[in-house]
């Protein structure tokens, strides 16, 4: 389920964790609302904030170390392959299906899978390779990635609010910068990450509501099973509510070949 902790992303993950806890420490060392609450004996908000930071770090490691849905071998994909019996259960369609074999790892790719040059594996329902987590986002960890973004955004917005409450007044710019330099640096980093996470979370929720992936959205013209579709047509779209329900609440792999040929029937 999990990859080697000391793989190529070790430095990225270490830097992320160190930066997270350094900024958290800065918020507690300066005269922010968190520190004021702690000094007054009201520990609810400080403890809740630290717990939320811890949850975000744990989710980060879970998403970055989790198997995103690697296609390991044709044997492991036997139950997901589009066999003749399944084909006979599907209403005839103008669409055609061509089984693809990856030219890199030589496995037979299920529909919506793509080979990642960085991970050197084909990934089911490939979304993208994220350098932030140094892992692919695919069928198995995509929902956890979205959950991580949501928790991370909550931590960042709360941290930005706490940083704002800790700035100390000074009569001149030089004195103000000397008094607030560390807090200013921390709040700048938090503000930049907040913008990035807002854009990421918004784009992923939008694509999830359409049952589309980042790869399909960006490379639609190069994907064989989408070339015949119109500009606004998505063969996997079953409506916003069904798409969201399937993404967040339905566990286990999906035979996308069946959903592709269903043509308006219930999602698989």
Catalytic residue annotation: 130
CA distance 116 to 211: 21
Cβ pair 127, 178 in contact under 8 A? no
CA distance 121 to 135: 11
CA distance 160 to 156: 6
**Can you point out the beta strands (E) in the chain?**
70-71, 100-101, 108-109, 114-116, 121-123, 128-130, 135-137
CA distance 108 to 73: 8
CA distance 91 to 166: 64
Which residue carries 């938090």 as its tokens?
190
CA distance 90 to 123: 25
**Half-sphere exposure in the Cβ direction for 3 (13 Å, CA):** 22
CA distance 177 to 75: 62
CA distance 239 to 247: 12
Residue 2 DSSP one-character state? B
Which helix or strand (DSSP H or E) is residue 192 part of?
helix 173-210
Tokens read off for 263: 């043509």
């Amino acid at each position: 389920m999990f990859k080697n902790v000391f793989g190529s992303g070790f430095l990225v993950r270490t830097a992320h964790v160190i930066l997270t806890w350094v900024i958290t420490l800065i918020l507690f060392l300066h005269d922010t609302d968190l520190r004021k609450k702690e000094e007054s004996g009201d520990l609810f908000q400080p403890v809740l904030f630290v717990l939320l930071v811890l949850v975000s770090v744990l989710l980060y490691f879970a998403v970055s170390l989790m198997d995103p849905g690697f296609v390991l071998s044709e044997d492991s994909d036997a139950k997901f392959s589009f066999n003749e019996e399944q084909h006979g259960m599907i209403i005839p369609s103008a669409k055609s299906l061509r089984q693809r074999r990856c030219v890199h790892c030589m496995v037979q790719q299920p529909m919506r899978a793509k080979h990642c040059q960085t991970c050197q594996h084909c990934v089911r329902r490939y979304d993208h390779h994220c350098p932030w987590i140094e892992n692919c986002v695919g069928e198995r960890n995509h929902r956890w990635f979205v959950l991580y973004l949501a928790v991370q955004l909550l931590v960042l917005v709360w941290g930005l609010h706490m940083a704002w409450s800790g700035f100390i007044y000074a009569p001149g710019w030089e004195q103000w910068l000397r008094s607030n330099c560390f807090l200013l640096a921390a709040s700048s980093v938090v503000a930049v990450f907040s913008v990035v996470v807002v854009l990421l979370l918004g784009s992923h929720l939008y694509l999830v509501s359409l049952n589309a992936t980042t790869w399909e959205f960006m490379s639609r013209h190069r994907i064989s099973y989408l070339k015949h579709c119109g500009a606004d047509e998505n063969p996997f779209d079953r409506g916003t509510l069904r798409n969201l329900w399937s993404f967040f609440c339905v566990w286990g792999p999906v035979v996308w070949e069946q959903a592709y040929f269903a043509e308006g029937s219930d999602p698989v």
